[in-house]
């Protein structure tokens, strides 16, 4: 068990040249002000229209290189971010995903191509961040085969080993004070509102010293296989999240007219 105080890791998802630069700059200034070393989850070859928010930012790759040089960890955020597979994911948080259920050899080539694209831009991807938490045993095998042994996902309170890959859990989508453990806070920079950036800033002002980096996490918490009690606790946390999301969907569907609810 990890002693107090809690540690926090920030993860920014959906980064690609057509992201919202305007939204991103709010978070980049927080990274610089608080000297943060987050996970930057970059889509290598984005084809998802939802992530085509602005004309391509000519400075995007240089921004990512500079942040990596300052200690950020580059994440491979899928390949094209097209989440059209309905395969069963190990976590099962979304109905569709990019990877889960896709043929093993296709997953391997997507991961290999994604890594080559990011490396071609001078980045050194070291961790996998699955779009919509969607991945299966073939994804983990492909990551191992391509030399990536780190994943950002799961609901434990400390990094752990599973299927030959070290998982750094990601359990939060906004800042929440915790007593102990390691908590990754995921921020979708394209869609986060000013209020969310302000809330994060406030949290950082109070807890900046508790924010850590992937390198320090691996040094401090040597990932090990979860004990049965830890596994059950992580499963319970996952189910609580699934239930609260389902309840949220039901509430929204009850409020919305039928034509808007699909
Ligand atoms: Zn994403």
Per-residue pLDDT reduced to its tens digit, 189-206? 888 878 889 999 999 999
pTM across the whole model: 0.89
Distance 132 CA to ligand 1 centre (A): 6
Distance 190 CA to ligand 1 centre (A): 10
Residue partners of 170: CB distance under 8 A and separation at least 6: 11, 152, 153, 154, 184, 186
Mean pLDDT of the chain: 91
Q: Is the pLDDT of residue 253 over 90?
A: no
Distance 234 CA to ligand 1 centre (A): 22
Q: Is the pLDDT of residue 71 over 60?
A: yes
Distance 62 CA to ligand 1 centre (A): 21
- Per-residue pLDDT, 256: 60
Least confident of 28-37, 211-220, 229-238: 229-238
Distance 13 CA to ligand 1 centre (A): 5
Long-range contacts of 88-91 (CB under 8 A, 24+ apart): 88/136, 89/130, 89/132, 89/133, 89/134, 89/135, 89/136, 90/135, 90/136, 90/137, 91/133, 91/134, 91/135, 91/153, 91/154, 91/238
At 260, the pLDDT band (50, 70, 90 cuts) reads: very low
- Per-residue pLDDT, 215: 94
Distance CA 25, CA 167 (A): 29
145 CB neighbour count, 10 Å cutoff: 13
Distance 7 CA to ligand 1 centre (A): 24
Distance CA 155, CA 238 (A): 6
Distance 154 CA to ligand 1 centre (A): 16
Helix (H, G, I), strand (E, B) or coil at 242: helix
More confident residue, 93 or 59: 59
Burial class (CB in 10 A: 0-12, 13-18, 19+), 13: buried
């Amino acid at each position: 068990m990890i002693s107090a105080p809690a540690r926090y890791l920030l993860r920014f998802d959906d980064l690609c040249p057509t992201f919202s630069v305007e939204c991103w700059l709010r978070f980049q200034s927080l990274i610089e002000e608080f000297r943060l070393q987050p996970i930057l989850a970059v889509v290598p070859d984005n084809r998802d229209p939802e992530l085509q928010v602005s004309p391509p930012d000519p400075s995007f790759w240089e921004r990512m290189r500079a942040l990596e040089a300052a200690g950020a960890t580059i994440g491979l955020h899928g390949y094209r971010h097209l989440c059209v597979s309905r395969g069963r994911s190990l976590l099962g948080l979304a109905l569709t995903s990019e990877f889960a259920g896709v043929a093993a050899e296709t997953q391997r080539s997507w991961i290999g191509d994604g890594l080559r694209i990011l490396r071609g831009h001078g980045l050194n991807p070291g961790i996998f961040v699955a779009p919509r938490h969607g991945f299966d045993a073939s994804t983990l095998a492909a990551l191992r085969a391509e030399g990536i042994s780190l994943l950002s996902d799961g609901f434990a309170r400390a990094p752990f080993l599973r299927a030959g890959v070290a998982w750094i859990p990601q359990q939060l989508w906004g800042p929440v004070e915790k007593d102990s453990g390691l908590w990754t806070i995921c921020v979708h920079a394209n869609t986060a509102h000013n209020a969310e950036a302000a809330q994060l800033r406030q949290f950082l002002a109070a807890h900046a010293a508790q924010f850590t980096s992937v390198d320090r996490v691996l040094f401090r918490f040597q990932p090990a296989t979860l004990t049965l009690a830890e596994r059950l606790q992580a499963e319970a946390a996952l189910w609580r999240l699934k239930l609260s999301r389902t309840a949220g969907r039901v509430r929204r569907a009850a409020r919305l007219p039928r034509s808007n609810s699909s």
